[in-house]
Amino acid sequence: MLSPLDDRYFEKVRELHDYFSEDAMLKIKARIELDYFVALCEELKLELNDTDRHWITHIWNDIQTIHIKLYEEKTKHDIKAIEYYLRERFKHFNIPHDHMIHFGLTSQDINSLATSLMLDRFNQSEMTYCVEDILDCIHKFAQENKCIFPARTHGQLAVPTLFEKEMEVFISRINDVWIETSNFAFKAKFGGAVGNLSAHYIAFPDHDWTKFVDKFLRKLDIDREEYTTQVSNNISIAQYFDKIRTINNILINLCRDIWMYNSYGYLEQQVSSEEVGSSTMPQKINPILFENAEGNLELSNCLLDFMSNKLIVSRMQRDLTDSTILRNMGVALGHAVVAYKSIMQGLKKLSINKENIEKDLTNTGLLAEAYQILLKKQNIKDGYELIKEMERAGLNINDLNIPESLKENLKSVTINDYVRHIRDKT
């Protein structure tokens, strides 16, 4: 195997073969041809009896891609191979009007619609499962590890926060993108040679072909691109890939933060006695699931970024550069799915190391913001400067040149006071 998706990571992406494999692509294209044929016959009032419809349904459910590939060896064209295969099946079952298969269409009508259908079904199933499961895992991880937590800005101890709130940040960010992505509306090109439906109108000028093809696509929950060349504009696909990249970037951020919290000793991993972290350093327990996820997310994003940039560009009315690129959608999305499942697996093996966290929570600098803002409240105009000098000189509240009552007020402030209002919220 040339790709780890078909070997090392196969179990994590097995379901994606139902959407993006060569076999799946040929089947969905053949089924579009059959659905279009039936709709065309109804539009033109070409008779299909119950027996004809029965056999068409049988063919639809039993697409033999190996036979299509045999035709493609001769035609060097997958859509023409599908047409010849279907015509052969029609003749076998004595289904009439086989000459109307693929009537008025170009291969890009089938390819564009198939691509949008595959992405739509992936988004409504596997992508939805993954995002909802990740959100659930992050939420459970946060709720099971509630604690006051030392926030770090620029890597330095800053202020007290809550660990569960910091995890909720990622849930909120993902939700903001997922609201727009979960019911994303895909579009497809379906209009003949260069999108004008000219062949349809020249053959049957009295029919409203625009209305016909719009209705045909809407039955499949796909919107039709009104103005195209021979190839789809691919704008919706590019927009969808950009949304997936945004989700991936949020999760890259999560992986890196988890990695850093682990390196500070704030988190610890649960491992079995048989697991090994290094072939030479037996003490090591590495955050490999989050490193694996980060790498796969970055690889996915590279491919998705390239595709979203490339697919909206085609020379004049058509070139073929998009064809081979679209066949790699499953690779780009497959690496994302591998990452999603690694993150979920990793979160289930993590827990808070309260001892290490509490050591950093004793740092008085965590309350410096609270001290200076309370001094300002009491009209100490240089309150910020007083606390800055105190912290940088390694002094304490007793060394401040302020009234004793204010010193006692500052001493009474705790990290619990600092986070009480967000604890109630989370």
Cβ within 8 Å of residue 383, ≥6 positions away? 371, 372, 373, 374, 375, 376
User: Which residue in the block uniquely carries the two structure tokens 């090994």?
Assistant: 276
Kindly name the residue from 154, 272, 412, 421 that is annotated as catalytic.
154
- Is 139 catalytic? The answer is no
Q: How far is CA 133 from CA 62, 179, 294, in A?
A: 33, 15, 18
State how far Cα 399 lies from the chain centre: 54
Cβ within 8 Å of residue 52, ≥6 positions away? 93, 95, 96
Task: Count CB neighbours of 316 within 10 A.
Answer: 8
Beta pairing partners, 152: 157
Extract the tokens encoding 359. 């050591």
- Is 92 catalytic? The answer is no
Decide if 36 contacts 209 (C-beta within 8 A): no
Number of helices (H), then strands (E), belonging to the chain: the values are 20, 6
Kindly name the residue from 125, 172, 263, 278 that is annotated as catalytic.
278
**CA quadruple 19, 1, 4, 299: dihedral positive or negative?**
negative
Cβ within 8 Å of residue 334, ≥6 positions away? 5, 9, 13, 16, 20, 300
Beta pairing partners, 188: 224
Active site residues: 154, 278
